[in-house]
């Protein structure tokens, strides 16, 4: 077998990595000087690096390893599928058993009449599909002018041209001439940073009504869809006020706008229901799925599509769209086994009723830390807003991300993966997390917050902008 050894010295691996591997969302030269952390194996909720250090993975990889690491049954299913049928396409009027079985399973799991799946390799390309699909749908209904998609600032919908355009990340738009045409953005329901003197409930309504104002500005006959994550993930785990989603749903219904719920993070248990749309009572026409669909064991994503949209498109001739790996048999087999584990081990119940409430109680107590202004969590998706002044919800004068980066590095040193988005610290642990893991997570988080606070004070950085 031809493989690079896990047991080369760390420095040697880092040098090879720096010489040949371009990392996503990374300043390459900076990383080459520091050397990347090399992860060599993982089991359960724990990663091990090339120096033998164990790290609690508070982010489930990139929000995806819902069933935890080291599942033998997934490896066995994948091996069996690789031997039986490693690849065949689903173009040209062919299909195969794993694609069929997974589609049936997803239709059964999905709420409402989301009974159809279009497969992709991940979340970004699934959102590309959604852009093509909703425009094609309205054209098939005789309304080709209905093609604008409304999204939100600071949303994350992937990194392809369409995915990044749907997303509302300014640093991404700044590179490569984005967004592409006919994608526009409204505000996000981030009360902590943008709510001013309004109550969270007032602010939630105000932000939802930006959608109605945008539809009025563009004309209802020009707008195809609104896309949003039930809870914004990569934007910093922005948990919307309770008033937000009911008002968004009302507006989409009132104006004949398709609603796309990007469930790439929220889907498959993370919010304490199978889908985030169930947690917020959203009735989407399309759901984007990926990440937890296979718990990251194989790349796969997709669009779950309503009867109305799928049937309309089916009657409209060829849909000129698809990927070589749409419905990849190994990925479908892995996803099916992953869904079996989520159901059989009652992982959604672990989030909603067993470990979740315990985590929520401990997480809420972090709001008492002198550095933390807000500690919010839904299911296994939590965020801490760090601030130099709790009363005014102030940002740091030193600039966004200063405190966040310091805290992230302390977390790493304390054997905890907790990510920072600006000066928000976020977690999204594997859904198998147990109460004893929660204790470890909180202990390491508190230690890291203490060290961050001490460093900020020592360097004179506890100053409001």
Phi, psi of 120 (to 5 degrees): -135, -175
Taking the complex as a whole, how short is the minimal distance between the CB of residue 62 and ligand PLP, in angstroms? 7
For residues 174 and 47, give the distance between their C-alpha atoms in angstroms, rounded to a whole number. Answer: 34
Taking the complex as a whole, how short is the minimal distance between the CB of residue 160 and ligand PLP, in angstroms? 7
Q: Any bridge partners for residue 152, and if so which?
A: 186
- Residue 58: how many CB atoms within 10 A of its CB? 25
Tell me if 234 contacts ligand PLP by CB under 6 A. Answer: yes
Given the complex with ligand PLP, which of 164 and 372 has the nearer CB atom? 164
Given the complex with ligand PLP, which of 273 and 452 has the nearer CB atom? 273
Taking the complex as a whole, how short is the minimal distance between the CB of residue 434 and ligand PLP, in angstroms? 25
Determine contact, residues 137/118, Cβ cutoff 8 Å: no
Given the complex with ligand PLP, which of 157 and 328 has the nearer CB atom? 157
Contact string 284-313 vs ligand PLP (x = CB under 6 A): ------xx---------x------------
Tell me if 265 contacts ligand PLP by CB under 6 A. Answer: yes
How does strand 223-228 pair with strand 148-152?
Answer: parallel
- Three-class secondary structure of residue 412 per DSSP: helix
Going by C-beta distance under 8 Å and a sequence separation of 6 or more, which residues neighbour residue 377? 239, 359, 360, 363, 364, 383
The single residue among 44, 68, 98, 123 that binds ligand PLP, judged by CB under 6 A, is 123
Q: Which stretch binds ligand PLP (CB under 6 A): 90-98, 259-267, 308-316, 349-357?
A: 259-267
Q: How far is CA 263 from CA 64, 300, 357, in A?
A: 12, 13, 22
- Three-class secondary structure of residue 15 per DSSP: helix
Find the binding residues for ligand PLP in span 128-167 (CB under 6 A). 156-158
Taking the complex as a whole, how short is the minimal distance between the CB of residue 262 and ligand PLP, in angstroms? 4
What's the residue count for the chain? 465
> Contacts with ligand PLP: how many residues (CB under 6 A)?
17
The single residue among 14, 46, 66, 124 that binds ligand PLP, judged by CB under 6 A, is 124
Given the complex with ligand PLP, which of 301 and 388 has the nearer CB atom? 301
| Residue 133 structure tokens | 């699909």
For residues 290 and 155, give the distance between their C-alpha atoms in angstroms, rounded to a whole number. Answer: 16
Tell me if 262 contacts ligand PLP by CB under 6 A. Answer: yes
Helices (H), 266-378: 276-279, 307-314, 329-344, 347-349, 355-365
The single residue among 264, 330, 442, 445 that binds ligand PLP, judged by CB under 6 A, is 264
Task: Point out which residues bind ligand PLP (CB under 6 A).
Answer: 63, 122-124, 127, 156-158, 229, 233-234, 262, 264-265, 290-291, 301
């Amino acid at each position: 077998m031809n493989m690079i050894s896990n047991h080369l010295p760390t420095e040697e691996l880092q040098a090879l990595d720096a010489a040949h591997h371009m990392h996503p969302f990374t300043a390459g030269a900076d990383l080459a000087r520091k050397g990347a952390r090399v992860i060599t194996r993982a089991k359960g909720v724990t990663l091990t690096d090339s120096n033998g250090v164990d790290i609690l993975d508070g982010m489930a990889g990139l929000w995806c390893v819902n069933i935890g690491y080291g599942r033998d049954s997934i490896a066995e299913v994948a091996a069996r599928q690789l031997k039986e049928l490693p690849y065949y396409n689903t173009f040209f009027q062919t299909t195969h058993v794993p694609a069929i079985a997974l589609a049936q399973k997803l239709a059964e799991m999905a709420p409402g009449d989301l009974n159809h799946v279009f497969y992709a390799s991940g979340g970004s390309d699934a959102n590309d599909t959604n852009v093509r699909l909703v425009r094609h749908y309205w054209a098939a209904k005789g309304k080709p002018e209905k093609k604008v998609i409304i999204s939100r600032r600071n949303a994350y919908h992937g990194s392809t041209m369409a995915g990044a355009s749907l997303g509302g990340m300014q640093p991404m738009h700044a590179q490569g001439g984005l967004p592409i045409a006919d994608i526009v953005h409204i505000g996000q329901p981030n009360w902590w940073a943008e709510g001013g003197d309004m109550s969270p409930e007032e602010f939630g309504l105000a932000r939802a009504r930006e959608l109605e104002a945008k539809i009025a500005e563009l004309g209802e006959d020009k707008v195809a869809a609104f896309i949003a994550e039930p809870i914004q993930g990569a934007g910093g785990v922005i948990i919307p006020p309770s008033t937000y989603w009911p008002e968004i749903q009302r507006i989409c219904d009132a104006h004949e706008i398709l609603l796309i719920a990007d469930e790439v993070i929220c889907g498959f248990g993370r919010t304490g229901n199978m889908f985030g749309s169930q947690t917020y009572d959203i009735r989407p026409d399309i759901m984007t799925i990926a990440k937890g669909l296979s718990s990251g064991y194989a790349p796969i994503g997709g669009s779950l599509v309503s009867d109305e949209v799928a049937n309309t498109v089916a009657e409209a001739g060829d849909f000129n769209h698809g990927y070589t790996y749409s419905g990849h048999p190994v990925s479908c087999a892995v996803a099916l086994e992953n869904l079996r584990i989520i159901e059989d081990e009652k992982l959604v119940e672990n989030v909603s009723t067993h470990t979740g409430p315990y985590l929520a109680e401990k997480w809420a107590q972090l709001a008492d830390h002198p550095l933390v202004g807000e500690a919010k969590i839904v299911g296994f998706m939590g965020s801490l807003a760090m601030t130099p002044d709790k009363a005014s919800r102030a940002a740091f004068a030193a600039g966004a991300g200063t405190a966040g980066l310091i805290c992230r590095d302390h977390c790493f040193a304390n054997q905890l993966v907790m990510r920072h988005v600006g000066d928000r610290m976020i977690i999204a642990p594997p859904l198998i997390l147990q109460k004893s893991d929660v204790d470890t997570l909180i202990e390491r988080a508190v230690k890291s917050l203490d060290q961050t606070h001490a460093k900020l004070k020592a360097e004179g950085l506890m100053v409001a902008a």
